Chains A and B, each alone.
Chain A
Amino acid sequence: MNDYENMPDEQLVQLSLKDQDCFYYLMKRYEIKILRYIKRLTTVSHEEAEDIIQEVFIKVYRNLNGFNRKLKFSSWIYRIAHNEIVNQYRKTKLRLSMIPLSIDDEANLIDSIHDTIESNGAYENLENAEKVREALAKLPDKYREILVLRYLEDKSYDEISDILRKPTGTVATQINRAKASFKKIVRRHQLDKEIVK
C-alpha cells in the first residue's frame, strides 16, 4: 500500500500524472499553506480565496509535465500561486496592499524583522498592533510580499528567487530595502514614540 502522506512531492507528481486521485494528496499537502499565502497577500474573502486556490491547483495539474525537477515543488507551486494572485489583481484590480495580516502574523513578522535588523530602539515597543498594521500597510506591495515570503512563509533566499523569478541578489537587496523601508515608515510616522508613550 502506498504511503502517500510521507511520499516526496516529486514522487507524488509522477504518480499524479498516472492517477488523478494521487493529485488529491499533493493538493491536501499545500491547501492550507497556499490558502494562507493568498490571504496574506490579498484582501479577498475566504470564498474568493478558495476560487483562487482552485485556479492555482488546476494550473498546477495542467502543467505537471512542465515541472522542472531542479526546483523544489513547493517553490513551483508558490510561483503558480503568486502568478495567479497577480493575474487576479490585473483582472479584478483586487487590492494587494493594506494586507489584513492576523495579529499572530504581525507579531511574527515584527519579531523576525526585529531579530534581523540592528536594534536601535526603534522597534523596542512595536507591540502595538494598530501601529504595526499602519506601518505594514504603508509598505509598497513588492516589499510586503517579500517580507511575507521570508518571515511568514519562512522561505530561503533561493526559494524566494525561484518563486518570484528574480536573481537571489535582487531578492536579498529587496529584503534589505523592505526592512529599511519599514524602519523609515516607523520613524517618519513616529510610531515608535507613540508606542513608547
Chain B
Amino acid sequence: MADISKDILQKIKKDEVRPYPKQYFLLKRSVIWTVFGLSILLGSVASAIALFQLRYAEWDLYKHLSHSLAEFVLLVIPFFWLIFLLGFTGFAYYYFRRTEQGYRYAAVWIILLSIVLSIIGGGLLYSTGLPDRLERVFQENLPFYRELQERKQKVWMSPAQGLLAGTITKVVSEQKVEIKDLYGNNWVIDIADTIWRGRLKPAEGLKIKILGKMKGQRSFVANEIRPWKGRRGQGRNRHLRLKNKR
C-alpha cells in the first residue's frame, strides 16, 4: 500500500511549499479586529446621532397632531441612523465571527454585545457634541439627507392642528409679522402674546416654527415660536451658544 504521507511530503519538498509567516496571521487577525472595531465605532457614531435626534425630537407636538401615537413615533424615530446602526452591527457580527474564538458565541450574544458597545460609544460621542456637528455637516453637504430631515419637518405644515412653519418676510409691527410657509403661501401671524424660544427676535429672513391657532384664511395666532432648527433653542446650536457664553 502506498504511503500517502510520504508522497505528500515529497510534493511539499518538490514544490518548495513553505508555511506562511507568523506575521501573515498576525496581520490577518489585526485586520479582522480593526474592521470589527471600526464597525463598532461607526455604529457608535450612528447611535450618537440617533440619540441626539431622539433627545431633541419634539415629543410635545403629539398633542397638536391627529396622528395616532404609533404614527407619531414613526415620524420622530431616527430610522436613518438606526438602519446604519443595524448595518454596522451586521458588519461587527460578521467580523467577530471570523476572529479566532468568535464562532464559540451565539449570534444573539454577539449582536447584543455589538449594539450595547455601539450605544455606550454613542453615549460617549454624544457627550462630546460630535453628533451636533456631524448633523450640520450632513445637512449642509448631503442633499438627500437634508431632504429627508426636511420631510420630517413637514409635520409643521398642519395649520389646522396649530402648527405652521416658514420664513419671516416682513416684520409689520411688534404684534404682527408676515411669513412665507414651506409651501410658499403667505401668512399674517399675530405675535402679540407669543413666547419666543431660543432667544429669538423677529427678523426678516428668520426661519421659524409656530405653535398656535389658525384664525382665518392665511391668518394665524402664535402662542409659541421656535427656531427652525432644534427645540426651544436647544440642540443644533447648543454647543455654539455654550462656547459663546464662555
Which residues in A have their C-beta under 8 angstroms from that of B201?
A: none
Task: Find out whether the CB atom of B104 lies under 8 angstroms from the CB atom of A65.
Answer: no
Residue B184 is within 8 A (CB to CB) of chain A in the complex: no
Binary contact track B3-31/A, C-beta < 8 Å → 1, others 0: 01111110111000111111011001000
Binary contact track A34-58/B, C-beta < 8 Å → 1, others 0: 0100000000000000100110011
Residue A104 is within 8 A (CB to CB) of chain B in the complex: no
Task: Find out whether the CB atom of B4 lies under 8 angstroms from the CB atom of A31.
Answer: yes
Which residues in B have their C-beta under 8 angstroms from that of A27?
A: 4-5, 8-9
Residue A7 is within 8 A (CB to CB) of chain B in the complex: no
Residue A140 is within 8 A (CB to CB) of chain B in the complex: no
Which residues in A have their C-beta under 8 angstroms from that of B13?
A: 20
Task: Find out whether the CB atom of A70 lies under 8 angstroms from the CB atom of B8.
Answer: no
Interface residues on B, range: 20 to 34
Residue A66 is within 8 A (CB to CB) of chain B in the complex: yes
In Å, the complex CA distance between A63 and B25 comes to 9
In Å, the complex CA distance between A58 and B234 comes to 64
In Å, the complex CA distance between A48 and B101 comes to 32
How many A residues have CB within 8 A of the partner chain?
29
Closest CB-CB distance, A150 to chain B, in whole Å? 18
Residue A83 is within 8 A (CB to CB) of chain B in the complex: no
**Majority secondary structure, B binding face:** helix
Q: Which of A116-124, A141-149, A165-173, A178-186 lies at the interface?
A: A165-173
Interface centre among B11, B19, B25 (most CB of A within 10 A): B19
Binary contact track B120-134/A, C-beta < 8 Å → 1, others 0: 000000000000000
Residue B60 is within 8 A (CB to CB) of chain A in the complex: no
Task: Find out whether the CB atom of A53 lies under 8 angstroms from the CB atom of B4.
Answer: yes
Residue B105 is within 8 A (CB to CB) of chain A in the complex: yes
Closest CB-CB distance, A160 to chain B, in whole Å? 12
By Cβ-Cβ distance, the 8 closest A-B pairs, closest first, are: A27-B5, A165-B103, A66-B25, A64-B19, A65-B22, A28-B5, A24-B9, A167-B106
Binding site for B on A (CB under 8 A): 17, 20-21, 23-24, 27-28, 31, 35, 50, 53-54, 57-58, 61-66, 68, 70, 161, 165-170
Q: Could you name 15 residue pairs across A and B whose Cβ atoms are closer than 8 Å?
A: A20-B9, A21-B9, A27-B5, A31-B4, A54-B7, A54-B8, A58-B11, A58-B12, A61-B19, A62-B20, A63-B25, A65-B19, A70-B100, A167-B105, A168-B104
